[in-house]
Amino acid sequence: MLAAILTTLLWSCSSICAARSARLVGGGAANVTRIAIAVVLLGIWAHFSPYAHGLGGAALPWFLLSGFIGFGLGDVAMFCALNRIGPRLTMLLTHCLAAPIAALTEWAWLGVGLGWREIACALVILGGVALALAPDHGTGVTRRVFWIGVLAGLGSAAGQGLGSVISRRANDAAAAAGYSVDGGTAAYQRIVVGLVVAAIFWLATRHRDAKPSPGVWPRAWMWITANALAGPTIGVACFQWGLVTTKTGIIMPIVALSPIATQLLAWAVDHTRPTRRTLIGGAIAVGGVIALQFVQG
């Protein structure tokens, strides 16, 4: 639970920094740069820490697959959805569908299921998130663009959910080989493939992005570095730490609170007041997290 809550808070901070950096240098360039920074930082930990496994171990193929599906394909799908149906509907599809996809996959593949009380609490959390994030009006795009965006959102959810379960499978492979993988090393082994996919996607689409203004990069570095630390470095390390000890179907609904936490943080930083429905949905979701803690305790 602690790892999931830390992940939620860190990812919400990462979202604020990502938005600032994307406005300065463009989304593709900011994304590739923050992942590259994370690869360097996580690589130092994974290769030189007392728990170092580097790019080795029985779990490596599973973590690489998890990174390809989650960090790679999932993030590309999310980017495609954001451009078509906007952030609220994209986050709604991603976070509210990733949790049941992960829970069902974990049950069918790994034989790890949830009790009925855990399922009830997870549904309360996801219901609150859905209430908080549901768009107030139509997206204002054509039907074709809308459905392409929805399919991309489903792909984003599938990437996040399946990638998380594969990480759990990687931890099982490590345990069977007689060792454990810390969150930082797991994040590093996943993100290496994610960097390759993100770089390929950026190179293929960078002609669509407007060129940043001269001299803007020095201002952008602070936001990009903060994004790298809170998101793919410490944030993902906490997420991987949580997957070692906690069922995916419990981790994912808690992490789904990230967009709500982001809106509250934006209220404090940018003075963008959330709607009443966002506050009510957030309160319901937080109540579900508290209930889940009592159910597990």
Structural domain boundaries in the chain: 2-296
Q: Looking at residue 7, what is its pLDDT?
A: 93
Q: Where are the beta strands (DSSP E) in 71-211?
A: none
Per the structure block, which two tokens stand in for 122?
A: 């997870």
Q: Looking at residue 9, what is its pLDDT?
A: 93
Q: Looking at residue 228, what is its pLDDT?
A: 93
d(CA 282, CA 132): 6
Smallest CA-to-CA distance from 224 within 3, 30, 27, 28 is with 30
Per-residue pLDDT of the chain (297 residues; tens, 9 = 90+): 789 999 999 998 988 888 888 888 887 788 889 999 999 999 999 999 887 789 999 999 999 999 999 888 888 888 788 778 877 788 888 888 999 999 999 999 999 888 889 999 999 999 999 988 887 666 677 888 888 989 999 999 999 999 999 999 999 999 999 999 999 999 999 999 989 988 888 888 777 766 777 788 888 999 999 999 999 999 999 999 999 888 898 899 999 998 888 888 888 877 778 888 888 999 999 999 989 878 865
d(CA 11, CA 258): 6
Q: Amino acid letter at 169?
A: R
> Torsion angle of alpha carbons 237, 240, 246, 247, nearest 10°?
140
Using an 8 Å Cβ cutoff, are 119 and 247 in contact? Answer: no
Using an 8 Å Cβ cutoff, are 156 and 229 in contact? Answer: no
> Torsion angle of alpha carbons 67, 225, 89, 81, nearest 10°?
-60
- Give Cα separations from 39 to 3, 100, 173, 206, 255 (angstroms): 21, 29, 23, 21, 22
What is the number of alpha carbons within 13 Å of residue 267 lying toward its C-beta? 12
Q: Looking at residue 284, what is its pLDDT?
A: 94
Q: Looking at residue 136, what is its pLDDT?
A: 67
Q: Looking at residue 138, what is its pLDDT?
A: 65
Let me know how long the chain is. 297
d(CA 32, CA 17): 14
Q: Looking at residue 184, what is its pLDDT?
A: 93
d(CA 236, CA 230): 8
Per the structure block, which two tokens stand in for 110?
A: 């790994």
pTM exceeds cut of 0.85: yes
Q: Which residues contact 34 (CB under 8 A, 6 or more apart)?
A: 18, 21, 224, 225, 227, 228, 231, 232
Q: Looking at residue 61, what is its pLDDT?
A: 96
For the stretch 149-175, what's the b/e string if a residue is b when 16 or more beta carbons lie within 10 angstroms of its beta carbon?
Answer: bbebbbbbbbbbbbbbbbbbbbbebbe
Q: Looking at residue 297, what is its pLDDT?
A: 55
Q: Amino acid letter at 144?
A: R
d(CA 10, CA 265): 11
